[in-house]
Structure 1
């Protein structure tokens, strides 16, 4: 498995693709991340065309097991961020 692309590498690739400076590409990436974070934190969802949908899902209160002791404990309800991958991306990876 290849190493994941770092933010610096992503900004450089984005700048090259846009034909812009790295500073502009970095600002654009930061703006997109901020918008996604704000929307998902508020309980909404964001669809990135060709990539997928990022959304927040609530998990109910449940019983979990402490792996060290085997003890059953109650875990409070919480929220978890999920992502559904777009069919176009799956097809490009598999085909």
Structure 2
């Protein structure tokens, strides 16, 4: 499912028009991005949690040349599914 399909599904489920559904989705994405930038966790009970995770500098290899390359430290995001989501997808 891509963003346009998600907007259509949101509009269908909520009764919103597509423009309002797009604004709601864009606002959600903006809020999540802001919170991750602040290194804040987002927890949606039953669905899951998004947690920013720091990754340290590490040595990797360029797959094309095999040459060692140092990857700079960065922050990634970990998603941990909630109980109800796991139950729903494993029925």
TM-score interval (norm. to shorter): 0.7 to 0.9
Residue 46 of structure 1: aligned partner: 42
Q: Which runs of 4+ in 1 moved over 4 A?
A: none
Please state how far the C-alpha of 1:76 moved relative to its aligned partner.
2.3
Residue 7 of structure 1: aligned partner: 3
Alignment of 1:1-95 (within 5 A): 5-95=1-91
TM-score normalized with structure 2 length = 0.85
Are residues 69 and 48 of structure 1, via their aligned partners in 2, closer, same or farther at CA, if it must alter by over 3 Å?
same
Cα distance in 2 for residues equivalent to 1:78 and 1:42: 13
User: SS at the partner of 1:38?
Assistant: helix
Deviations 1:20-72 (Å, cap 9, x if unpaired)? 21111111111111100100111111123332111211111222223333333
TM-score normalized with structure 1 length = 0.82
Question: Which runs of 5 or more residues in structure 2 are unaligned?
Answer: none
Question: Which runs of 5 or more residues in structure 1 are unaligned?
Answer: none
Alignment: residue pair count: 91
User: SS at the partner of 2:66?
Assistant: coil
